[in-house]
Structure 1
């Protein structure tokens, strides 16, 4: 923790949470806003469904690749410069998406968007740990998750409205405005939270050795898998929304927001519970409680898909309850990840985000096209992804201090 933290931010703690949540929401906002316009973009650019799916996977893979470096660069050059440069590039990439005239151009600019959008979420985690001791950091991380949850709930409504009343280009002009507003607000408000004594020298060889040290640490990698892979049990449905909602549940684009209200409502409720439990319950108990909820929901989801007629009245709440369990445990696991290397929290956040985003990209590019046309396959794949995280947590839980 930065010993000067109390002087760096004098406003209420919730105000910093909002600022950091806005940084963290850039990534998911860039995904959810344009999902209702999938069919319209495909028609306008003469793109196939597989090509449109690649606009998601290209974004996510670009996000994963640069996430490997955002945090490490912030350890060397400071948190503030990395955030501001990332927001600037994101804004320019959004302009590129808005004026794209072919699917190839859109995929390219989506890749650039992904490469820049990760700066906010990666560096914001390190900033939280720079500014707060463990229990307070968990509360702030939960508040960030809670506020961050509002954006994906609003995004599809905004995207659907813009698509219906304007055209798909307006969605990316909107993202341009979001990027510009965040760039200005962070330029004016965000302090530099990395203490001068913790600044790391920039040497490529040393960075690679540190990355290897983290990647070869079973405890670190198990914690990363426990925090990141279960998220895909919910994100699988987000990525499949054009088919899951449009083909299976027969929703119109303007109705997509019901799905996001359920999923993001679950995230917000889980984050709120996590914040209330900070300092009152051991990390192991809180994490296991979240996994138990996700496990029970997964079993119920598979059973309903097997034996009940498909209905939005139970399909959407299943996703929301799964999200609740994930959000209840992920702030705790994320802080455990960062505290494995206190002197390199930016790098730890980078590697965590990179692995999680690489998993997101593989899910988007490989799993979703394979399973999105069957609701039972979606439910089984979601459960399998949750089990990967659960087994990873079981492998490391005894070595985590209560």
Structure 2
């Protein structure tokens, strides 16, 4: 934690949470805003469905790759420069997407968007821990998740409206405007939270030493799996939304918003409750609550899909409950990851994001196309992806029982 944190941000804590959440919102906005225009973009550029899927995969793999470096750069040069440069590149890439005339150009600029977007998401986590002690950090992390949860709900609505009324190019011009506004806000408001005494030397030897230190630590890797992989249990349904909602549940495009509203309500509810529990119960107990909710609802979802024909009257509810469980536990696991290496929080946040975003890319490019044809396959795959995180946490709990045991008093 920065010893001068009290002097860096004198506004209310929630205001910093909003600013950091806006940084995190770039990711879901970059994904969800243009999804309603998939068919229109494909028609305009003469692209096949596989090529359109590549625009999503290019973004996700670019995001995963550059996340290896955002945190390391932030540990050496400071949080603020990395955030500002990331937003600037994202803004230029969004303009490139808007000006694209071929599918190849769009894939390229989508990849560039992915390379830059992670800066805000990765660095914002490190900023929280720079500024707040553990219990307060959990509250702020939960607030960020609440605000962040709004983005996937409103992004498809905005994207669909822009596509219908102004064409697909307007979606990326909108993202360009978002980038300009966000860069201006952070330039004026975001303080440098990395204390000068905490900066790491920027050289290949020190960087490789940091990667080896973290990547060779089994507890770190397992905690990163526990926080990053279960997200795909619900993200899988987002990726398969056109098929899942339109073909299987027979919803009209104008009714898709019910899925996003319910899922985001689950995320916001879980995040709110996570903040309420900060300092009241041990982190490992809260993590157990989150995984228990996800496990029970995932098993129920599989059973329901085998016993009944999928219907909008019930099929959206398990996903929302799953989202609640995920949001309840993920702020706690994230803080456990960051606190394992206090001197390399940026790098820890980077590698945590790499694991999660790589899983997202695999889910988007390989898994979702294989299972979206069946609601049973979707339910089973969701359960399996959650189980990866669950078994990772069980192993950590048994091998290192002291992890997450202490209750930190809330301030």
The answer, yes or no, to whether TM exceeds 0.5 is yes
8 Å Cα contact 1:161-1:254 kept in structure 2? no
Q: Using the alignment, how far apart are the partners of 1:204 and 1:353 within structure 2?
A: 21
Q: Using the alignment, how far apart are the partners of 2:347 and 2:105 within structure 1?
A: 32
Q: What is the TM-score of this pair, normalised by structure 2? A: 0.96
Matches within 5 A, 1:210-359: 210-359=210-359
Instruction: Give the corresponding residue for 1:8.
Output: 8
RMSD (Å), alpha carbons? 0.9
Please give the per-residue CA displacement for 1:313-369, whole angstroms capped at 9, x wherever unaligned: 211111111110000000000000000000000000000001111111011111011
Task: Give 1:137 deviation, angstroms.
Answer: 0.1
Residue aligned with 2:388, SS: helix
Q: Using the alignment, how far apart are the partners of 1:348 and 1:48 within structure 2?
A: 38
Q: Using the alignment, how far apart are the partners of 1:55 and 1:255 within structure 2?
A: 25
Instruction: Give the corresponding residue for 1:71.
Output: 71
Greater Cα shift, 243-252 or 296-305: 243-252
Instruction: Give the corresponding residue for 2:45.
Output: 45
Please give the per-residue CA displacement for 1:277-321, whole angstroms capped at 9, x wherever unaligned: 000011111001000000011011111111112111211111111
8 Å Cα contact 1:59-1:114 kept in structure 2? yes
Residue aligned with 2:101, SS: coil
8 Å Cα contact 1:37-1:253 kept in structure 2? no
Task: Give 1:383 deviation, angstroms.
Answer: 0.2
Q: Using the alignment, how far apart are the partners of 2:235 and 2:26 within structure 1?
A: 16
Greater Cα shift, 38-47 or 91-100: 38-47
Q: Using the alignment, how far apart are the partners of 1:339 and 1:47 within structure 2?
A: 46
Instruction: Give the corresponding residue for 2:115.
Output: 115
Instruction: Give the corresponding residue for 1:33.
Output: 33
Q: Using the alignment, how far apart are the partners of 2:315 and 2:205 within structure 1?
A: 49
Q: Using the alignment, how far apart are the partners of 2:78 and 2:58 within structure 1?
A: 28
Instruction: Give the corresponding residue for 2:176.
Output: 176
Q: Using the alignment, how far apart are the partners of 1:178 and 1:365 within structure 2?
A: 27
Instruction: Give the corresponding residue for 1:388.
Output: 388
8 Å Cα contact 2:336-2:404 kept in structure 1? no
Q: Using the alignment, how far apart are the partners of 1:229 and 1:200 within structure 2?
A: 29
Q: Using the alignment, how far apart are the partners of 1:96 and 1:227 within structure 2?
A: 33
Counterpart check, 1:89 vs 2:89: yes
Counterpart check, 1:189 vs 2:192: no
Q: Using the alignment, how far apart are the partners of 1:378 and 1:252 within structure 2?
A: 20
8 Å Cα contact 1:160-1:253 kept in structure 2? no
Instruction: Give the corresponding residue for 2:403.
Output: 400
Task: Give 1:53 deviation, angstroms.
Answer: 1.2
Q: Using the alignment, how far apart are the partners of 1:399 and 1:390 within structure 2?
A: 18
Greater Cα shift, 124-133 or 144-153: 144-153
Task: Give 1:170 deviation, angstroms.
Answer: 0.9
Residue aligned with 2:315, SS: helix
Task: Give 1:182 deviation, angstroms.
Answer: 0.2
Task: Give 1:371 deviation, angstroms.
Answer: 0.6
Q: Using the alignment, how far apart are the partners of 2:25 and 2:307 within structure 1?
A: 37
Q: Using the alignment, how far apart are the partners of 2:50 and 2:258 within structure 1?
A: 25
After TM superposition, the runs of 4+ consecutive aligned structure 1 residues lying more than 4 A away are none
Q: What is the TM-score of this pair, normalised by structure 1? A: 0.99
Task: Give 1:205 deviation, angstroms.
Answer: 2.0
Check 1:237–1:296 CA distance in 2 against 1; reply closer, same or farther (3 A cut).
same
Please give the per-residue CA displacement for 1:5-45, whole angstroms capped at 9, x wherever unaligned: 11100000000000000001101111111111111111111
Task: Give 1:254 deviation, angstroms.
Answer: 3.0
Task: Give 1:70 deviation, angstroms.
Answer: 0.4
Alignment gaps of 5+ in structure 1? none
